[in-house]
Structure 1
Amino acid sequence: MMLRMPVLSRVLVIRPGATKFDDEQRIKGSLDMPMSDQGRAQVDLLAAELADIRVKTIFAAPCESARETAERLAKGRDVRVKVIDAFKNIDHGLWHGKLLEEMRRNQPRVYRTGQESPDDLCPPGGESIRDARARVVKAIRKVVKKSREEMVAVVAPEPMASIIRSALSGEPLVNLWQAETDSATWDLVESESR
């Protein structure tokens, strides 16, 4: 019988720089938007902050802000960028473009569900958080497995970044509404798998 040793995976979960909708506190979901000037400035600071972290590939969601963030982080480094369609942000259906404050004020019950049990949320005409989690879990496992014991970098917009972080850490997703805007931040998630 062969004993399998645990493998430590280290995943850098990176949120793109802000878009105009992030600046305005609007729900962008799967809308494909470029970064705002503020978002580009955020990514420039992030690139300097992460300059000493070694990765071979930055895996990015297919949206423009995530791709541009990944390309800016890879610039001048021996790092390639690979777009992963499964990291596409959640389709928020009829919620696209709504102000977060408008959701809180006009749909208090839905807003509360997003705070207390986001996995139970499904926007009208959109994708449920539970379905998005299932979609991303397969993709993140594949990326981590291919990268073996190397650091993995994933650029995904919110709330997909929080779903990825939750799937990797095993911690529950909390407060969807706090995880709706991007501002070029990152988390390092370390976990063991057999």
Structure 2
Amino acid sequence: MTAVSISSQVLLIRPGATLYDEQNRVQGVLDIPLSEQGKTEVARLAERLATRDDQTALSALYCGPGESVVRTAEIIGKALGLRPRRIDEFRNLDQGLWQGLQIEEIRRRNTRLFRQWIDDPRTICPPQGETVEDAMERLRAAFKPLFRRHADEAFGLIVGEPIARMIACYLKRVPRLHLDEFLPCCGYERIEVRADLLGGNGSS
């Protein structure tokens, strides 16, 4: 039996900005379109990704639901010659009654609860929202067929925040999740992930 090193690469892409991003509002699963700024950001990102020659080519492109995410995926997919496939399990974290509120408004209403959410979100569930553990369960299930399908390949995944940080935490095996306010929109990172993340033994 010879050990075989099997890994996949994920190009984790965040969508362009919406008006909620520009106003520092919690978006969650609310369906908000790209703003004019967001459209410009995505166009620039698509051009950058299409002209990079130092990266492994993507074999496929996936995205979560939501207008800003899907539109970002369409623009980037066109630039890369890939048709994005939507996977509903990659929807954003449902943040319940916090959705639509400005970050500062939530902080003023309950400083301690919000600070705990930022520092250790696994311990807090926004009112009528989704727990981090429930979201992580559906993320793990969604990744299983993708890693079987794309062993030793790279694929792109476009998702919003904060689900993007949760995915990065999962793929990198970071033991603790932090939600330090909002990351810049329309960024990306390439993450190399070994197949044994999903329980494979890596041998043949």
Runs of 4+ deviating beyond 4 Å: none
CA contact (8 A) 1:16 1:182 kept: no
CA contact (8 A) 1:58 1:153 kept: yes
Deviation at 1:105, TM superposition (A): 2.1
* Cα separation, 1, equivalents of 2:184 and 2:67: 13
**Of 127, 130, 133, which residue of structure 2 is paired with 1:130?**
133
> Does residue 40 of the first structure (1) align with residue 63 of the second (2)?
no
* Cα separation, 2, equivalents of 1:94 and 1:149: 41
Identity of aligned residues (%): 34
2:48 equivalent in structure 1: 49
CA contact (8 A) 2:47 2:79 kept: no
Deviation at 1:4, TM superposition (A): 4.1
* Cα separation, 2, equivalents of 1:169 and 1:28: 25
* Cα separation, 2, equivalents of 1:182 and 1:128: 24
Larger Rg belongs to: 2
The letter of the residue matching 2:108 is R
* Cα separation, 2, equivalents of 1:80 and 1:4: 34
Question: Where do 5+ consecutive residues of structure 1 fail to align?
Answer: none
CA contact (8 A) 1:60 1:67 kept: yes
- Greater shift in the superposed pair: 49-58 or 146-155: 49-58
Deviation at 1:177, TM superposition (A): 4.6
1:61 equivalent in structure 2: 64
CA contact (8 A) 2:11 2:155 kept: yes
> Does residue 95 of the first structure (1) align with residue 98 of the second (2)?
yes
The letter of the residue matching 2:13 is I
Question: Where do 5+ consecutive residues of structure 2 fail to align?
Answer: 197-201
The letter of the residue matching 1:184 is C
1:10 equivalent in structure 2: 9
Could you report, residue by residue, the CA deviation over 1:87-120 in whole angstroms, capped at 9, with x for unpaired residues? 0111111111111111222211111212221122
The two structures, once aligned, show a CA RMSD in angstroms of 1.6
Shift of the 101–177 alpha-carbon distance from structure 1 to 2, 3 Å rule, reads: farther
3-state SS, counterpart of residue 50 of structure 1:
helix
3-state SS, counterpart of residue 58 of structure 2:
coil
TM-score by length of 1: 0.92
CA contact (8 A) 1:162 1:173 kept: no
CA contact (8 A) 2:119 2:180 kept: no
Deviation at 1:37, TM superposition (A): 0.5
The letter of the residue matching 1:70 is A
